[in-house]
């Protein structure tokens, strides 16, 4: 049941899925997958860091959580703005963000932190060694991310002509979605 929650939250709109969708539209499947491979490396890496360092650091020095939140929040506002105001020429094949960006984006991705910290509460048990727990969380997050790629790529690929005709509107919708996801990750309800 825990994996189902992880999968559902990973399938929901977030920075990784929205950028993957747009990259498939702009640059095609192969170029978009370079970014997604970076995400697939970055998510489990972030999971391991959250288990071993972030949760302990926040327990010892609570203001670290606020600093991470502030930096992540500011970056997501910026990223949402860039997507919202993008006016791409789909005939121009610029190079998309690649593998390294896919990895590094995870470290400012509020949704990724929130999901990882929540996964710690789902998958951890005081009687289980930390290494085992970290491995379980990293594998669960990686598996969910791999499965979540399929509908986003398929949607962008099969509906690309429609989306290309309406790309400015799509950018505005996705820019707002980034802000909505960001607000959901940072503003307690």
Residues 6 or more apart from 28 whose CB is under 8 A from it? none
CB count, 10 Å around CB of 37? 15
Rounded to two decimals, what is the model's pTM?
0.71
State the Cα–Cα distance between residues 32 and 49, nearest whole angstrom.
26
- Helix 15-27 to helix 130-158 angle (10° resolution) is 40
State residue 99's pLDDT score: 92
For residue range 27-79, list pLDDT tens digits in order.
Answer: 888 888 899 999 999 999 988 888 888 767 777 887 877 787 777 778 778 87
For residue range 82-123, list pLDDT tens digits in order.
Answer: 878 877 665 555 666 789 988 998 888 877 877 777 777 667
What value does the mean pLDDT take over residues 143-166? 86
> Is 109:18 a contact under the CB 8 Å cutoff?
no
């Amino acid at each position: 049941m825990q994996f189902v929650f992880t999968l559902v939250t990973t399938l929901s709109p977030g920075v990784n899925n929205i950028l993957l969708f747009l990259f498939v539209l702009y640059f095609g499947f192969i170029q978009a997958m370079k970014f997604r491979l970076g995400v697939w490396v970055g998510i489990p890496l972030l999971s391991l860091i959250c288990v071993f360092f972030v949760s302990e650091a926040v327990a010892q020095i609570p203001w670290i959580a606020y600093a991470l939140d502030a930096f992540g929040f500011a970056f997501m506002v910026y990223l949402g703005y860039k997507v919202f105001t993008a006016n791409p020429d789909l005939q121009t094949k610029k190079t998309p963000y690649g593998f390294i960006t896919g990895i590094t984006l995870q470290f400012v991705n509020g949704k990724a932190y929130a999901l990882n910290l929540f996964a710690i509460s789902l998958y951890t048990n005081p009687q289980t060694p930390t290494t085992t727990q970290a491995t379980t969380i990293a594998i669960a997050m990686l598996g969910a991310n791999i499965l979540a790629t399929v509908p986003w790529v398929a949607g962008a690929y099969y509906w690309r002509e429609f989306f290309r005709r309406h790309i400015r509107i799509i950018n505005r919708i996705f820019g707002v979605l980034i802000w909505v996801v960001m607000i959901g990750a940072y503003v307690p309800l």
